[in-house]
Structure formats: structure tokens, C-alpha cells
Chains A and B, each alone.
Chain A
Amino acid sequence: MAFFNKEAGRHEQCQSVLYAAERGELRIITSALTLTEVIKIKGKPIPSDAEDKIRAFFEHD
């Protein structure tokens, strides 16, 4: 969520981990629940195009 919200002081740390994965230096493995946590936020509906992008983002391998 810090990454998607661009939270100051936190999103940079997420970003560096994601870039490392993109370079093949590490592999990120997460649960399907993580996807639910970031697209089904209680009391805060998100735009459908954002949901589709996030679903697609989680399809990276």
C-alpha cells in the first residue's frame, strides 16, 4: 500500500526491492491474499482501471 500510495519515506524502500526483482537479483513470492488486501480496501472503493492494472502487475514472474 505504501508503494501504491507513494508514501514518503516508505515507497522508496518498496521500489528498490521491486527493481532488484526486475533485475533478477531476487524473487518476490507473495500470497493471493496480498492482492485482495490492496484492491479491496474497506470503505475506499478503487477505480476499476486501477484494479485491473494491479491485477496485471501481480502477474509478473
Chain B
Amino acid sequence: MTLDGSEIAAEKFVKSVSEFVAIIRDVTESLSGEKNSVKWIVSVEKGRTKVHFTPRLIKANPAVVKSTIDAVKNGFFEIEQRGGRPSYWSDASLKSAKEIANVYSPNENALDVIRVSSDGGYATMTKKTSTNVVSLVGNEKRAFGTVEGRLRTVTESGGLHVVVQDALTHNNIRCFIEDTDTDRFVAAFKKRVSVYGEIRYPREGTPLSIKASDIRVMRESTKLPSIDKMIGIYA
């Protein structure tokens, strides 16, 4: 990553590097499926504001490192040039990219080049990245509600959560749970469930994730009453 300009404040430099490390670690985890599979070594090129990030394999396959580097660099390009959501980038990574872009300040003649490069080319960043991230994840809303669907996954990767496939949209919704609730959620694995909690919505309104506070196992469709059995139930 290159940060260049006539004057770069120390806090901006540190902020950019730490947010960049957060992105690399997040994308590595998405690709490898586990935490801390690669250790990233940071070094600064002598006399320049060029920061190098070098992988040290711990558990990951070498192919994961190559894929991570491509996904990070291509991700910056995708956000800046196309305003799209890059593959393997979480919302947290998008927000980190926004933080890096926010240190770009050409009008103050202080930091007018932010570039992410690897052997396969480079991507530059401007304030456009920040604007595009706001479009992708901005104006997020939170509200209490229920998500209904089938509980498909239970995992600790990326924080203890289960994944419920929404019955309506078929989207996978991450339901973050407390350690103490693990048994209840594991017992509902593969079942139809209704999960209550604080739901996080993007602008378009389909749930992204939920901080789950309760779960109810629903009956299977075959055990629900038919239309014929309900006609005139009050008559």
C-alpha cells in the first residue's frame, strides 16, 4: 500500500495501516474459513511511504494467500471504479476501506495518493471509495423483529452464530448468539425456526443479520393444519 503526499499526519498513517490489516485478515478468514491461518508482517520501505504486507503461512494453503491478495486488491478496484460489493469482503472490511479513503485529502495537499498494489497490478483510492461504501452499507437500520426459516449452520467462525435460511427470500441470515444459548440453537439444527432479536437491515430492507435473543422451533409443514380443516373453525 502506498500513501503519498507532501505531509502525512502520523495518526492518518497509523489509521490507514491498521484498517488495511483488518481488511487483509478479514478476507483471509473468509477464504480460509478459519481465524489466524496467515500472519501478515508489516514493513515500511526506506525513504518512502510504501508499506509492505508479507504473508507468513501458519495453517492456510498457499493458494489462499494468492487468492487473498487478489481479493483485496480487486476489492479496492471494484469499490472505487464500479461501486460494487467485492467478493469475500464483509461489511466490516467495507467500512475499513471507507476509513482509509477518508484520509485521502488532495485539497489540503497532504495525502494525494493511496494505492494498493501487488504483482498483478494496482488499485487507487479516492473519496469515491468512501461515497460508494456508504451506498453499499450506509443508512443501515436496526429494529426488533423475527426471522423465520430453516437453521442450516452452527459455527464459531466470525463470532458464535447460526445461519437461518429465510423462508421468504431464501437468503442466509446470520444470527449471532450468546455462549449460554448455544445448546438451544444447536438443538434446533436443520429445523424450521423463528428467531427473535435485533435485526440489522441494509437500505433495501432484507435482513442481513440478527442479534438473537430467543428461538422457537416451528412445526414441520406436514404437521400444519390444512385449509379444509380451518374453514369455519369459529362457526
A contact set with B: CB distance below 8 Å: 1, 3-6, 11, 15, 18-19, 22, 27, 29, 32, 46, 50, 53-54, 56-57, 59-61
- A4 B224 Cβ-Cβ under 8 A: no
A3-B93 Cα distance, complex, nearest whole Å: 51
- B225 A4 Cβ-Cβ under 8 A: no
CB distance from B6 to the nearest CB of A (A): 58
- A4 B218 Cβ-Cβ under 8 A: no
- B230 A5 Cβ-Cβ under 8 A: no
Question: Which of B218, B219, B227 has the most CB atoms of chain A within a 10 A radius of its CB?
Answer: B227
Given A15-B227, A22-B227, check contact A60 B234 (CB 8 Å): no
- B225 A5 Cβ-Cβ under 8 A: no
A32-B192 Cα distance, complex, nearest whole Å: 18
Chain A residues near B218 (CB-CB < 8 A): 59
B168 at the interface (CB under 8 A from A): yes
Known: A6-B232, A56-B219, A59-B218; 11 extra A-B contacts, CB below 8 A, are A4-B230, A4-B231, A4-B232, A5-B232, A11-B231, A50-B233, A57-B224, A60-B221, A61-B167, A61-B168, A61-B192
Give the contacting residue for A53; candidates B148, B167, B225; CB below 8 A: B225
User: Please, what's the 1-or-0 string for B206-221, where 1 marks a CB less than 8 Å from any CB in chain A?
Assistant: 0000000000001101
Q: Is the contact region of chain B dominated by helix, strand, or loop, or is it mixed?
A: loop
CB distance from B68 to the nearest CB of A (A): 38
Contacts across chains A and B counted by CB atoms under 8 Å: 53
B48 at the interface (CB under 8 A from A): no
- B148 A4 Cβ-Cβ under 8 A: no
Number of B residues whose C-beta is below 8 Å from A?
Answer: 19
Chain A residues near B225 (CB-CB < 8 A): 53, 56-57
Chain B residues near A61 (CB-CB < 8 A): 148, 167-168, 192, 221
Given A29-B168, A50-B234, check contact A59 B224 (CB 8 Å): yes
**Chain B residue, CB-CB nearest to A6:** B232
- A4 B234 Cβ-Cβ under 8 A: yes
- A3 B224 Cβ-Cβ under 8 A: no
Given A4-B233, A61-B221, check contact A18 B168 (CB 8 Å): no
Chain B residues near A11 (CB-CB < 8 A): 231-232
B229 at the interface (CB under 8 A from A): yes
Given A59-B218, A59-B219, check contact A54 B227 (CB 8 Å): no
